[in-house]
Chain A
Amino acid sequence: MSLISLKNIEKSYKTGVGEIFVLRRITLDVRKGEFITIMGPSGAGKSTLLAIMGMLDADWTGEYHLMHHAVHALKPRDRMGLNRQYFGFVFQQYHLLDDLTVYENLEIPLSYRNVKRKDREAMVADTLDRFHIVGKKDLYPNQLSGGQQQMVAVARAVIAEPEVVLADEPTGSLHTSQGKMIMDLLKRLNDEGTTIIQVTHNEAWAAYGDRIINLQDGWMVE
């Protein structure tokens, strides 16, 4: 069974002059443990596709199955529950809170999953350990390099042990060496069993994945 199964997903906006399509007839299966790269020019619909898979965007038509859940048939509230249960997100701009320490930033996803304080402490401690950032726990994001900030963001994305990590241009704000560090990290997570779906413009980073999905003007192309 596929982890994610999309069938004829479409998204469009109505405007004065007609309908503008962002995604056209996207049919795609993602298996558990895959590392998939979505590529394509700006405006091709890459980020939109990622947002739909992660249930941050509910305004589309078609069929979306997440394992045995028929997402297209669910109410927004139930989708949110699934989003929390299955997905971790990494964004180009890190999306760390600058007025929270590394430790507190890592705690955020747990506070939204009703994890008890005691378990929370243990999970944050484990994650700090796993990512070798124990020494940085009391620092604020601005006291870290871009690569370190993104590393914390990846740690936050996986702290609640999601099935899938969705990464939207995770290296887009980083220098090559730091970008490589983040890609190696994603690769390691994938080797440990996490399914990864990334959007990137970079051919070298795309090669980290098993398979490339090319988008152009909202269509999947060869």
Chain B
Amino acid sequence: MSSQAHPLIQLHGLQKVFYTEEVETHALSNIDMEVRKGEFVSIAGPSGCGKTTLLSILGLLDSPSGGKYILDNEPVENLTASTRAKIRNQAIGFVFQAFNLIGDLTVYENVELPLTYRGMPGKERKERVQEALERVGMAHRRNHYPSQLSGGQQQRVAVARAIVGRPLILLADEPTGNLDSKNGHAVMELLKELHAEGATICMVTHDPRYAHLAERMIHLFDGQIVSEEDAMKMAELEESGFDVA
């Protein structure tokens, strides 16, 4: 088992502060968490709680204002933009709510994109793309353009693009947010299968049905990690109009 190995992701006292017109907003305060290899973790919480900010930092799309972020045993909180971009391309696969496919590239080309930044030989690229498309059941649509596919199919193509580079971790930001429940379900099944095959997944969602599919849930509230019990209490309070902040 890999659980004896070091955690894939370690956050210690992570902070993110935004400054707007002399007001300090603590988007994330004092976040401590770990994600082990092969885990499927969901990050849940109401809108504005900091979920997406946390995922952006995990994905090296944003830097923390303070604290430590150790990715695969390497501190990454203070790297230069270009080093970050390189690690991000190699280590992280992203799935976004809005699919993020490019409309004038075919399914095949969209999936191939992350590999074109790696200087990988053409033959190997082809094999990888084919394998990823087969994995998500979209190989028969390789020459289609995104607009010729349903939302669920587009998201499967997006998942293929996320896994084609064999990343250390898959980050998914509300992957079912733009899908009807049937298609949303199919995409979640796909993520579950990938997890069963060994993928490490970190997913942001505010849909409790899907959050519970993960092995472990992290609850965020006003930029802090809270227990499940507290999260439920605060959600109830907030629903009744009580200002918990």
**Which residues on the A side are within 8 Å of B101 (C-beta)?**
95
Contact A104 B117 (CB under 8 A): yes
Q: Which residue of chain A is the closest to B162 with respect to CB atoms?
A: A99
Count class of interface residues, chain B? 20 to 34
Residues of B within 8 Å of A101, CB to CB, are: 81, 85
Of A99, A112, A138, the contact of B81 (CB 8 Å cutoff): A138
Chain A residues closer than 8 Å to B109, beta-carbon distance: 112
Residue B59 is within 8 A (CB to CB) of chain A in the complex: yes
Assess whether B102 is in contact with A56, with CB atoms less than 8 Å apart: no
**B141 at the binding interface (Cβ < 8 Å):** no
- Please determine whether A89 and B92 come into contact, CB atoms closer than 8 angstroms: no
Cα(A95)–Cα(B56), bound, Å: 18
Residues of B within 8 A of A140 (CB): 56, 61-62
Partner of B104, one of A76, A83, A97: A83
Of B56, B88, B145, the contact of A56 (CB 8 Å cutoff): B145
Among A95, A99, A101, A143: residue with most chain B CB under 10 A:
A99
Q: Categorize the interface residue count of chain A.
A: 20 to 34
A76-B143 Cα distance, complex, nearest whole Å: 9
Find out whether the CB atom of B148 lies under 8 angstroms from the CB atom of A98.
Answer: no
Contact: A56 with B94, CB < 8 Å?
Answer: no
B113 CB within 8 Å of chain A? yes
Q: Per-residue CB proximity of B88-106 to A under 8 Å, as 1/0?
A: 1000101010101111111
For the complex, what is the distance from the CA of A146 to the CA of B148, rounded to whole Å? 25
Choose from A80, A99, A143 the contact partner of B94 (Cβ within 8 Å): A99
In the assembled complex, B150 has its CB within 8 A of some CB on chain A: no
A133 at the interface (CB under 8 A from B): no
A97 adjacent to B143 (CB under 8 Å): no
Once bound together, how far apart are the Cα atoms of A57 and B103, in whole Å?
11
Interface residues of A in 103-158 (CB under 8 A from B): 104, 108, 111-112, 138, 140, 142-143
Give complex CA distance A39, B102 in Å: 24
Q: Is A218's CB within 8 Å of the partner chain B?
A: no
Contact A51 B147 (CB under 8 A): yes
- A104-B85, A112-B109, A138-B81 as given contacts; A98 in contact with B61, CB under 8 Å: yes
Which single residue of chain A is at the shortest CB-CB distance from B102?
A95
A residues near B56, Cβ cutoff 8 Å:
140, 142
Which B residues touch A64, using CB under 8 A? none
Select which of A57, A87, A89, A91 is within 8 A of B148 by beta carbon: A57
Some 20 contacts from A to B, beta carbons below 8 A apart, are A47-B147, A51-B145, A54-B104, A56-B145, A57-B145, A80-B106, A83-B104, A89-B104, A97-B100, A97-B102, A97-B113, A98-B100, A99-B59, A99-B61, A99-B92, A101-B85, A104-B85, A104-B117, A111-B116, A112-B109
Besides the known contacts A51-B145, A111-B113, 19 further A-B residue pairs in the complex with CB atoms under 8 A apart: A47-B147, A51-B147, A56-B147, A87-B104, A95-B100, A95-B103, A97-B113, A98-B61, A99-B61, A101-B81, A104-B85, A104-B117, A108-B102, A108-B113, A138-B81, A138-B82, A142-B56, A142-B61, A143-B62
Interface residues of A, Cβ cutoff 8 Å to B: 47, 51, 54, 56-57, 76, 80, 83, 87, 89, 91, 93, 95-99, 101, 104, 108, 111-112, 138, 140, 142-143
